[in-house]
């Protein structure tokens, strides 16, 4: 059976009477705004949130909290989602929210990158480091349909899409649905909870999926990508025993490109890890490192630094670009990609103009 819940921001009342009224009208839960933006930009913390949480709990409503995202790692760097996660976590802690609190990411602002799910993963990882265990994602139904937001995943996201004027959210597998911004004529957003996490379920830790040969590729790189870029700070390890702190060597900060010599697997032949040319080892976990080269699917790119185009896959015959230094194409140039080609351990892009260029993420950025 589905149950009603509401969500509130700073402009809604924070009194006990307000939340008691919503409880008596049928709401069983409330999602309360903590913050918006992050420490590195224009952070905002709700001035009503602390009182709203206290009085909603007093009224008998189950409380979750949400953060309105404005991060974009492509524009502002990989730490941008981390800064916003830290603001949410610190605010929630200060307001008495424990590690079992449901932490919801509100992903709907136009400033978010198209692949908002990628930045959401960085955000959730930062919340996990702060000790929180339960997460969900809210956004327009159209963003879920287009793949910009994803449910399921290793973060246990149930999904809370917004879709008004319809008979359902239209998002397969979603466990909640915001269907109105005027619940019972009270001027507050109203939603239905099909899974219980916003209204009835007692919180239990999210159990990580068991890694098997069938699903390990979802969490780790099972092949040699030739070069990776670190997404978080990681360590080189002197031996293949990556879990031992005493085995740590050089620290690699987020954004560091690293060349991979070999890929190995653990004693069970399931979980992979990388060996570097200097004989040290690093993780192959997709949450911590990313392939430095784009792979399919890829449709359009934008140049980040000057690049050259080539007439051949081997990239030996430079395409002339008259009027430009060194026959290069300048920053901001956009190209349509017709094919992503694996070549000598890395990747090369074939463009729709018939020429070839690098797929290295420090030189070209995916547009779509």
Decide if pLDDT at 208 tops 70: no
**Please, what is the angle between helix 79-94 and helix 116-129, to 10°?**
50
**With 60 as the cut, is the pLDDT of residue 58 above it?**
yes
Q: What is the CATH number of domain 216-291?
A: 2.30.30
**pLDDT tens-digit map of 60-97:** 999 999 999 999 999 989 899 999 999 999 999 999 89
Give the pLDDT score at 71: 95
Query: Best-predicted range by mean pLDDT among 175-179, 254-258, 351-355?
Result: 175-179
Decide if pLDDT at 206 tops 50: no
Percent of the chain clearing pLDDT 70 (strictly above): 97
Burial of 27 (0-12, 13-18, 19+ CB in 10 A): buried
* CA–centroid distance for 164 within its chain: 25
Domain boundaries, the chain: 3-193, 216-291, 300-366
What is the residue-averaged pLDDT of the chain?
90
Q: Per-residue DSSP letters for 236-283?
A: EESSS-TT-GGGEEEEE-TT-EEEEEEEEE-TTS-SEEEEETTS-EEE
In sequence order, the 6+-apart residues with CB closer than 8 A to the CB of 151 are 137, 144, 157, 158, 159, 171, 173, 174
pLDDT category at 245 given cuts 50, 70, 90 is: confident
Segment 14-33 shows an average pLDDT of 96
Per-residue pLDDT band for 322 (boundaries 50, 70, 90) equals: confident
* Residue 348 reports pLDDT greater than 60: yes
Mean per-residue pLDDT for 288-300? 83
pLDDT at 218: 75
> Above pLDDT 90, what percent of the chain?
65
Q: Which of 52-61, 76-85, 318-327 has the lowest mean pLDDT?
A: 318-327
Q: Which residues contact 326 (CB under 8 A, 6 or more apart)?
A: 306, 308
pLDDT at 243 over 60: yes
The CATH label, of 3.20.20.80, 3.40.225.10, 3.40.50.10490, 3.60.40.10, for the domain at 3-193 is 3.20.20.80
CA separation for the pair 31, 7 (Å, rounded): 4
Q: Return the pLDDT at 291.
A: 87
* Over residues 215-235, mean pLDDT: 86
Confidence of residue 209 (pLDDT cuts 50, 70, 90): low
CA separation for the pair 148, 145 (Å, rounded):
8
pLDDT at res. 202: 67
In this structure, is the dihedral angle defined by the CA atoms of residues 297, 299, 305 and 307, taken in order, positive or negative?
Answer: positive
Residue 205 — pLDDT band, cuts 50, 70, 90?
very low
Q: pLDDT at position 204, please?
A: 47
**Residue 356 or residue 153, greater confidence:** 356
């Amino acid at each position: 059976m589905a149950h009603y819940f509401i969500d509130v921001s700073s402009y809604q009342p924070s009194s006990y009477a307000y939340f008691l009224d919503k409880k008596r009208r049928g709401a069983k839960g409330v999602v309360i705004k903590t913050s918006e933006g992050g420490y590195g930009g224009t952070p905002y913390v709700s001035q009503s949130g602390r009182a709203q949480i206290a009085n909603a709990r007093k009224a008998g409503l189950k409380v979750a909290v949400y953060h309105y995202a404005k991060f974009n790692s492509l524009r502002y760097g990989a730490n941008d989602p981390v800064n916003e996660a830290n603001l949410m976590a610190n605010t929630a802690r200060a307001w008495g929210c424990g590690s079992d609190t449901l932490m919801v990411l509100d992903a709907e602002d136009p400033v978010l990158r198209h692949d908002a799910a990628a930045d959401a993963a960085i955000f959730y990882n930062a919340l996990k480091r702060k000790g929180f265990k339960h997460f969900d994602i809210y956004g327009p139904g159209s963003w879920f349909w287009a793949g910009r937001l994803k449910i399921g995943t290793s973060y246990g996201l149930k999904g809370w899409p917004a879709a008004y004027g319809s008979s359902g959210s239209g998002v397969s597998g979603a466990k909640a649905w915001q269907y109105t911004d005027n619940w019972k004529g009270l001027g507050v957003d109203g939603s239905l909870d099909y899974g219980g996490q916003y209204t009835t379920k007692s919180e239990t830790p999210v159990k990580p999926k068991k890694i098997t040969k069938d699903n390990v590729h979802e969490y780790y790189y099972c092949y040699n990508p030739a070069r990776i870029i670190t997404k978080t700070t990681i360590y080189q390890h002197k031996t293949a025993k990556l879990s031992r702190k005493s085995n740590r060597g050089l620290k690699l900060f987020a954004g560091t490109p690293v060349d991979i010599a070999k890929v190995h697997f653990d004693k069970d032949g399931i979980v992979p890890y990388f060996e570097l040319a200097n004989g040290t080892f690093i993780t192959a976990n997709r949450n911590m490192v990313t392939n430095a080269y784009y792979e399919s699917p890829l449709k359009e790119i934008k140049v980040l630094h000057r690049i050259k185009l080539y007439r051949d896959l081997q990239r030996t015959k430079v395409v002339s670009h008259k009027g430009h230094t060194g026959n290069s194409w300048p920053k901001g140039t956009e190209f349509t990609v017709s094919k992503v080609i694996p070549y000598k351990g890395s990747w090369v892009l074939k463009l729709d103009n018939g020429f070839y260029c690098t797929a290295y993420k420090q030189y070209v950025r995916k547009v779509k």
